Structure 1
Amino acid sequence: MLEFHLGTILFQLVVFIILMIIIGKIGTKPVVEMMRKRQNFINEQINSAETSRKEAEAFLAEQKSELDKVRQEAHSIIERAKKQGESEADSIISAAKDRADRLVAEARVEITREKDLAIASLRDEVADLSVLLATKILEKEIDAKQYDKEMNQVLKEVGERL
């Protein structure tokens, strides 16, 4: 049966307490130190992650601000380019219109000059033909049939010269 001896129980109790003290002094210190280091490492990682998150948020906000600034600048450049293009187009159209007007005016002057030269030349021809007709009429006295015949011949000559 089971017997309990007080001496054995006390001895086992004393040995158990001594063992616990030794384990507490030797075994728990490294475990506690390891747990403390692990806790410090985890806390540092959490702080580092929090700092990185804040830096990332600040960087993201800065990048958004820069992106908005670049978009506004691009829009401004596009608007300036449009205005400059419209201005240049208006200038080119105006210059082309001025040149066309000048060419039309020069053409009108040239046409008028050519018309005047043609009229003067025609007058000279008519005068020459009139003189020719008058000399032919004066050279001979013509009756009505002869007059029509002479006129037709003179008109033929006039047509050939023109």
Structure 2
Amino acid sequence: MDLITPGIGLIIWQILVFVALLIILGKFAWKPILKGVKDRESAIEDALAAADKAKEEMKNLQAGNAKLIEEARKEREKIVAAAQTAANKVKEEAKADAQQIADKMIADAQAAIAAEKRAALAEVKNQVAEFSVEVAEVILREKLASQEAQKALVDRYVSDLKIS
């Protein structure tokens, strides 16, 4: 049974070695291990804080992006409205210019027609006057072919002059 039960001296030595081992491990192994665990824990906490901060920044950036997108959309609408207004103004100006040109062309055409009409009427009057003179000449030659007819005509003109 001696083999099964250890001696008191052996147990004391084992306890002393165990305590020495604990002291050595505590001084040289546990402190660095605990320091590493604390450092790791601190790094994890820092990483979680950085992740939370990044998450918050992402929310802010998304809100900022949404605001920028909204501002860009409003600016685009303003530009489109201004372009439409400018296009309508140019269209109206072109329409007014075209109307003025058309009115001027119509007025010029009417003036040309009136001038042609006056020229044609003058031409007709001249032709009628010439024709009337020719007809009167023919009639007078026939009526005044004799000496007696000429004398009667002169007498009649003289009597008309005395009356007037």
TM range (shorter): 0.7 to 0.9
TM-score, normalized by length of structure 2? 0.74
Select 2:11's aligned residue among 9, 30, 48. Answer: 9
Alignment of 1:26-41 (within 5 A): 26-41=28-43
User: Helix, strand or coil: the match of 2:58?
Assistant: helix
Q: How many residues align?
A: 141
Q: Distance in 2 between matches of 1:77 and 1:39?
A: 55
Structure 1 unaligned blocks of 5 or more: 142-162
Alignment of 1:1-162 (within 5 A): 2-4=3-5, 5-132=7-134, 135=137
Q: Distance in 1 between matches of 2:125 and 2:70?
A: 81
Q: Distance in 2 between matches of 1:26 and 1:81?
A: 79
CA RMSD of aligned residues (A): 2.2
Superimposed CA distance per residue, residues 8-66 of structure 1 (whole angstroms, 9 cap, x where no aligned partner): 12222221222122112211111011111111111111111211221121122112101
Letter in 2 for 1:123: K
Superimposed CA distance per residue, residues 102-124 of structure 1 (whole angstroms, 9 cap, x where no aligned partner): 22122112101111101211222
Q: Distance in 1 between matches of 2:56 and 2:88?
A: 48
More RCO (CA 8 Å, sep 6+): 1
Identity score, percent: 28
Superimposed CA distance per residue, residues 61-93 of structure 1 (whole angstroms, 9 cap, x where no aligned partner): 112101101111110121122122212212221
TM-score, normalized by length of structure 1? 0.75
Letter in 1 for 2:9: G
Runs (4+) off by over 6 Å: 137-141
Counterpart position of 2:152:
none
User: Helix, strand or coil: the match of 2:4?
Assistant: coil
